Amino acid sequence: MPEREVPAGEAEFAALQARGAAFLGTELAIMGGAMSWVSERHLVAAISNAGGFGVIACGAMPPALLEAEIVATQAMTDRPFGVNLITMHPQLNDLVQVCVRAKVGHVVLAGGIPPGPAVRAVKDGGARLIAFAPALVLARRFIKSGVDALVIEGSEAGGHIGPVSLTVLAQEILPHIREVPVFVAGGLGRGEAIVGYLEMGAAGAQLGTRFAASVESIAHRNFKKAFLSANARDAIPSIQLDERFPVIPVRGLVNAGTKKFLLHQAEVIGRFQSGALDKTAAQLAIEHFWAGALRRAVIDGDVENGSVMAGQSVGMVKTVQPVGEILAELKAQAVAALVARGQSV
């Protein structure tokens, strides 16, 4: 049979994302962001089965629970997927060994500088190691330590964020890092944007918010509904009232819980100033406000008092779509952008 003629733009898109796709072992160089309570077996397998790269969010899972999640995911897909581990997890080394024994091909170390023992364990176990680089100097340091690929995530992303936008990070890092593939993340919702970063030197992209509202996502229908009615300006970072009491910035949709958090901070700070609380107790009182809040929103559907983590791309979520449809749409947009550009030359 004659070979299928490749439509205009497809070959160019394939070439742009070839390095990232080869590294991941996928058709598309698109990773699913690791979202606690959301990035579990169903969503991860759906992304991988549709040609992308799903990533299990280990979060606070103990080793036994992570092992069960990996086995369950492997039963749902025979395609590559990864596991995201938090570097501050007290059982990090045990979690790495779980991944190695299960022959997970890619391990993502997030939430801090990858510890040397964990890096060596991943590499010795035969897996590829991915790390998040918030600055060029750290990107270079991670590469020297043995990291196989990097993710640069801008402040437009949902959940825990850094202070710098993807637009700036891309300009700071992409022109200078060629040794390993670099994937971009934060605020991405359309294929045209992905093409722009690929042309700057990115190997691929990571998306979370669009997948969180997919058909295969186990998130509560209230959680998904909140995404459909939200605009980019509704997804804001948590606000810190007093520099003496740091608040880890987390981007999510404004709701009753975010407003109560401001009142809670003010009340705790007042108790500290009156001497009713010492500084340590006041800091803990502020930090514990959101304990369990993400689960309340994602699993229980309490989107008024829970933490509805979402990136600024939430305004591009217009309907609850199957994962395969989302990926096909992103590819079609990317190809169309390349075709239009070629026609205008």
Domain match, 163 and 286 both:
no
3-state secondary structure (DSSP) of residue 319: coil
CATH of residue 337's domain is 3.20.20.70
The mean per-residue pLDDT over the stretch 128-154 comes to: 97
Q: Is the pLDDT of residue 122 over 70?
A: yes
The mean per-residue pLDDT over the stretch 127-132 comes to: 98
Domain match, 211 and 250 both:
no
Question: What is the distance between the alpha carbons of residues 38 and 36, in angstroms, rounded to a whole number?
Answer: 5
Q: Is position 186 within any domain?
A: yes
Q: What pLDDT band is residue 3 in, cutting at 50, 70 and 90?
A: low
Q: What is the pLDDT of residues 36-79, one digit of tens each?
A: 999 999 999 999 999 999 999 999 999 999 999 999 999 999 99
Q: What's the 3-state SS for 48-100?
A: HHCCCEEEEECCCCCHHHHHHHHHHHHHHCCCCEEEEEECCCCCHHHHHHHHH
Q: Is the pLDDT of residue 5 over 70?
A: no
Q: Is position 243 within any domain?
A: yes
Domain match, 295 and 324 both:
no
Domain match, 114 and 205 both:
yes
The mean per-residue pLDDT over the stretch 260-275 comes to: 95
Q: Domain range holding 278?
A: 231-309
Q: What value does the mean pLDDT of the chain take?
A: 95
Q: Is position 5 within any domain?
A: no
Q: Give yes or no for a contact between 185 and 207, defined as CB atoms under 8 angstroms apart.
A: yes
3-state secondary structure (DSSP) of residue 308: coil
What pLDDT is recorded for position 281? Answer: 95
Q: Is position 225 within any domain?
A: no
Q: Give yes or no for a contact between 252 and 307, defined as CB atoms under 8 angstroms apart.
A: yes
Domain match, 114 and 193 both:
yes
- Cα–chain center distance at 9: 28
Q: Is position 28 within any domain?
A: yes
Q: How many residues does the chain have?
A: 345
What pLDDT is recorded for position 291? Answer: 87
Domain match, 167 and 48 both:
yes
Q: Is position 40 within any domain?
A: yes
Q: Give yes or no for a contact between 73 and 81, defined as CB atoms under 8 angstroms apart.
A: yes
Q: What pLDDT band is residue 2 in, cutting at 50, 70 and 90?
A: low
Domain match, 271 and 155 both:
no
Domain match, 281 and 302 both:
yes
Domain match, 94 and 22 both:
yes
Domain match, 332 and 289 both:
no
Number of domains in the chain: 2
Q: Is position 256 within any domain?
A: yes
Q: What is the pLDDT of residues 300-327, one digit of tens each?
A: 999 999 999 999 999 999 999 999 999 9
Q: Is position 3 within any domain?
A: no
Q: For residue 253, what are the β-bridge partners? A: 235
Q: For residue 61, what are the β-bridge partners? A: none
Burial class (CB in 10 A: 0-12, 13-18, 19+), 339: middle
What pLDDT is recorded for position 4? Answer: 58
What pLDDT is recorded for position 343? Answer: 72
Residue type, 162: G
Question: What is the distance between the alpha carbons of residues 160 and 276, in angstroms, rounded to a whole number?
Answer: 31
Domain match, 189 and 252 both:
no
Domain match, 298 and 322 both:
no
Q: Two tokens at 42?
A: 């169903």
Q: Is the pLDDT of residue 242 over 70?
A: yes
User: Tokens 């790390």, residue?
Assistant: 131
